[in-house]
Amino acid sequence: MNHQKRWWMTISVIICLVVSLLVGGKAFSSQERVLKIATDSTFPPFEFQGNGSQLQGFSIDLMQAVLMASEAINDNINLKLQWQTLPFDGIIPALQAKSIDAAISSITITPERAKTVDFSRPYFKAGLAIAVAKNNQDIQDIKTLENKNIAVQIGTTGAQLAKKIPGAKVRSFDSTPLALQELKNGNVDAVINDAPVTLYAINTGNLQNIKIIKTLITEEFYGIATPKKSPYLDLINQGISKILENGKYQQIYDKWFKDISPTLPETLPFIQEKTPNTSAVIVILSSLPSLFQGVLVTLKLALISIFFGLITGSLIGIFRLSAIKPVGLLARIYIDFFRGTPLLVQLFMIYFGIPAICQQLNFTLSFNPLLAGIIALTLNSAAYIGEIVRAGIQSIDKGQTEAAKSLGLHPIQIMQYIIFPQALRRMIPPLGNEFISLLKDTSLVAVIGYEELFRKGQLIVADNYRAFEIYASIAVIYLFLTIIFSQLFSKLEKWMNPV
Ligand code: ARG
């Protein structure tokens, strides 16, 4: 009884704490007006994190100056900036969901985006440029990019443009540095990206052997984005106008670009036509063909990896039980390493890390993303499967081995006819779990630009900004797949255990 009371007290204290935190947070924000601003901080020199993990860059300085200027104009206003970093392709959905108040992330003002979010007046003039390897002579302009392999950052104007190039194979990455790394590693022919960012990366010496094609292929203007009808948009616009007038803008421009800033237009001349909101059913139905292609790729990735994972894992499991000490030890180290490090890190090591170090050692090694995905998933699942196999074998009573020995059977025969068939039955349920985890883990391969189910969905959201409908459909599809496979595994288990 006493014990129960204590439980209740602990639970009520936790509830009170959570509620007061939530309510307290709200009260705080209404006094001071906390402005939640999102940015994807992988875009130097506009927004990035320096060594001290402090946000910095042109956009960061500009946003601070803009808010200070608008506070100076409206003296009843006291704004407090709260930065939040988000992946670029998540920014517009977050604005739509109103989970942030504004975003400054070198977002190009485009008519399509202006249908879902509002933009401030332009604050920077930029444009897209092509980057290629220094020794590449045949790519000169957009025309010569036809049928080439191009890396881009997902959801950017560069990605939209690349999609329109006839025959081009586009690989999309979560951040611009990853797309540039892909070019550096020689896996693609070109990157289409905002010119100032590529130039900055080349000039800071991080991208030897890469050059930029000087003629810009587009002219673009960046704007600060807010949710539709945001009360802050006016304040932001007042602030931008103010710093353009009083020289603060030029000062920040000079700090980051050591140049005179170009003149900026007050508005952009495109019409904001109102498009009717497409219904969720239509959004989902029209995304299905593309998602279905993704499902096939996901299945391919999972099935091939589990096949090799089973072979490698069984060997590891058997080595682990080996009477030869060093063999057992090696198997143990393998298992510890692959179980003890995140799959995502292993994937990055294999796909970006190993080719990069090979380049430094002056020989070229590159994986295609399917191969890298299969290698990472195989090596990782083999560690878990190794343990399943070991436990399965060890679960069979020692007495059986001794009995078989006394009947004169050879150790291999004992394993083959007596131990393994029984152990296998016990291994089926954990192997089923392992396969289902692996099936879900295939979604991590999206980070190396491979278009499996999850990436297909991200690409659709980057186009139509219907995050809820698409991610919910993807979740349902994964659920459907895992349910089918767990049914199959239960059938298999019953079939092998007929009694
Ligand atoms: N200007 C481009 C666009 O709006 C790319 C911006 C990417 N920004 C970033 N922080 N990664 O699509």
- The counts of H helices and E strands in the chain are 19, 15
* Model-wide pTM > 0.85: no
Please state the CATH superfamily assignment of the domain spanning residues 280-496 in this structure: MetI-like (1.10.3720.10)
Name residues whose C-beta falls within 8 Å of residue 206's C-beta, 6 or more positions apart in sequence: none
Pocket of ligand 1, candidates 62, 83, 91, 153: which has the most ligand atoms within 8 Å of its Cβ, to mutate? 153
Ligand 1 center to 236 CA (angstroms): 20
Query: What is the architecture, at CATH level 2, of domain 128-218?
Result: 3-Layer(aba) Sandwich (3.40)
What six digits make up the tokens of 161?
A: 């443009």
pLDDT at 2 over 50: yes
Q: How many Cα atoms are found within 13 Å in the side-chain-facing hemisphere of 5? A: 2
* Residue 146 backbone phi and psi in degrees, to 5: -55, 140
Provide the H-helix boundaries in 110-260: 111-116, 157-163, 176-184, 195-203, 233-245, 248-257
* DSSP secondary structure letters along 241-299: HHHHHSSHHHHHHHHHHSSPPPP--SS-----PPPPPPPHHHHHHHHHHHHHHHHHHHH
Distance 104 CA to ligand 1 centre (A): 10
Task: Name the CATH superfamily housing domain 26-125+222-257.
Answer: Periplasmic binding protein-like II (3.40.190.10)
Domains 26-125+222-257 and 280-496 share a fold: no
Q: Give residue-wise pLDDT tens across range 49-97.
A: 977 789 999 999 999 999 999 999 988 888 889 999 999 999 999 999 9
Q: With a cut of 70, say whether residue 275 has pLDDT above it.
A: no
Measure Cα distances from 25 to 31, 32, 84 in Å: 10, 11, 16
* Sheet strand arrangement including 55-56: 42-43, 47-49, 55-56
Does the structure show a pLDDT above 50 at 38? yes
Ligand 1 contact, 88 CB (< 6 A): yes
Domain boundaries, the chain: 26-125+222-257, 128-218, 280-496
Cα–Cα distance measured from residue 134 to residue 149, given in angstroms and rounded to the nearest whole number: 16
CA of 458 to the centre of ligand 1 (A): 16
- Please tell me if the CB atom of residue 237 comes closer than 6 angstroms to any atom of ligand 1: no
Residues counted in the chain:
499
Instruction: With cut-offs at 50, 70 and 90, classify the pLDDT of residue 29.
Output: very low
Q: Would the CB of 172 count as within 6 Å of ligand 1?
A: no
Q: Rounded mean pLDDT of 225-239? A: 95
pLDDT of residue 61: 97
pLDDT in tens, 177-212: 999 999 999 999 999 999 999 999 999 877 888 999
CA of 193 to the centre of ligand 1 (A): 8
Q: Among 155, 171, 102, which Cα is nearest to 449's?
A: 171
Give the torsion sign (CA, 438, 444, 448, 449): positive
